[in-house]
Structure 1
């Protein structure tokens, strides 16, 4: 049953990633106009510019969500610490819990995705940040939060025995994720399509991660 569900998740994750790639291609082909900073091209320009004028720019929200972007990094370091402790105690990488190893590989893939789009910008932010043009697609904060926070929920569901604590952490993780995505959306530092791209890619990557865990762990 678990293996069958894992295969379905793997297929669904692949579809989500393919949808992200299609979305990325469409952004470079549909309604493209030089309306970004310094005349840079923006896909879906009519809608993106309309939404940006609607929300305006709120640097306070941007700053808050920027600093809170450290939270998923702390989660990553916490699980890295769990893996390191297991490695030291068990004296073999092969004796570390398989889901922790898969999680570590997953985090590396997420970070690589983050850096790839920083190096190869699809488009730039609607505004300058400290006088600098920064890559905007996909929203890196959205990507990091929606890739990492679900793994926190997934891990505590498996590793914690206290139902009340699991419920509290799950609710907090969902609320935090929603706040971060909505905050980046209305802060005015991203185009609407950047957020959609971040949601699609993170959903695809996490679904593939969850599928691999289902296919590799026994319990």
Structure 2
């Protein structure tokens, strides 16, 4: 295992452990009924103070909610790319491996989302349409931080012009920053929800990167042997 892969694996495992420990802490530390309808929230003093500081900005919630469709467009785009390759090449095994891995990654992200919708850690600090909604980890943060960085990885490999490649990377990066900060200060999540989303998405993206790099290395080794 080379140095890059070791570092990648180390970051992946560290992010997973950090997320699990953070989630455990959220369910055990400083639990108080500070949420709507007296819902229990972990890190209550910290979350309550930060929520009071930022306030609630529903317009920002609406903007980031609608912009949450952008990652869905990328998911659809790469899904159509994989489908086009499948139809043209007439074999699932002839579809680009990184696209197949990306598809599995999307399924994993959706499974994680459903998991935390079923097993609720805490609820939002505000009612949405008059009802409580699961808040941990922030699903929008998770979606953006999983789909957009992997989109950058894919596009940087598929765009040949360096200038275009760099411009696309900057635009997507700025979008990511806006979405995470926007969700944080909108007041529709507790601060710990955003942190949880960042840690979980870091683990998932690094896992994707690690898996993709292993296969890329294997492919280069096989190509070298054929020569």
Give TM-score, length-normalised by structure 2.
Answer: 0.93
The answer to whether the 8 Å contact 1:6/1:212 transfers is no
In structure 2, the gaps of 5 or more residues are 221-227
1:151 alignment counterpart: 150
| Pairwise CA distance, 1:7 | 4.1
Q: Per-residue CA shift, 1:111-132, capped at 9, x if unaligned? A: 1111111111100000000101
2:73 alignment counterpart: 74
Query: Which range is displaced more, 34-43 or 173-182?
Result: 34-43
The answer to whether the 8 Å contact 1:142/1:195 transfers is yes
SS in 1 for 2:45: helix
1:31 alignment counterpart: 30
- In the TM superposition, 1:68-217 aligns within 5 A as 68-217=67-216
2-side partners of 1:187 and 1:12: how far apart?
30
2-side partners of 1:65 and 1:95: how far apart?
37
In structure 1, the gaps of 5 or more residues are none
2-side partners of 1:11 and 1:106: how far apart?
19
Q: Per-residue CA shift, 1:116-165, capped at 9, x if unaligned? A: 11111100000000101000000000000000000111011111101111
SS in 1 for 2:182: helix
1:61 alignment counterpart: 60
| Pairwise CA distance, 1:8 | 3.0
Q: Per-residue CA shift, 1:143-202, capped at 9, x if unaligned? A: 000000001110111111011111111001100000000000010000000000000000
2-side partners of 1:108 and 1:49: how far apart?
34
What is the aligned-residue RMSD (CA, Å)? 1.1
2-side partners of 1:6 and 1:98: how far apart?
18
2:16 alignment counterpart: 17
| Pairwise CA distance, 1:14 | 1.8
Larger radius of gyration: 2
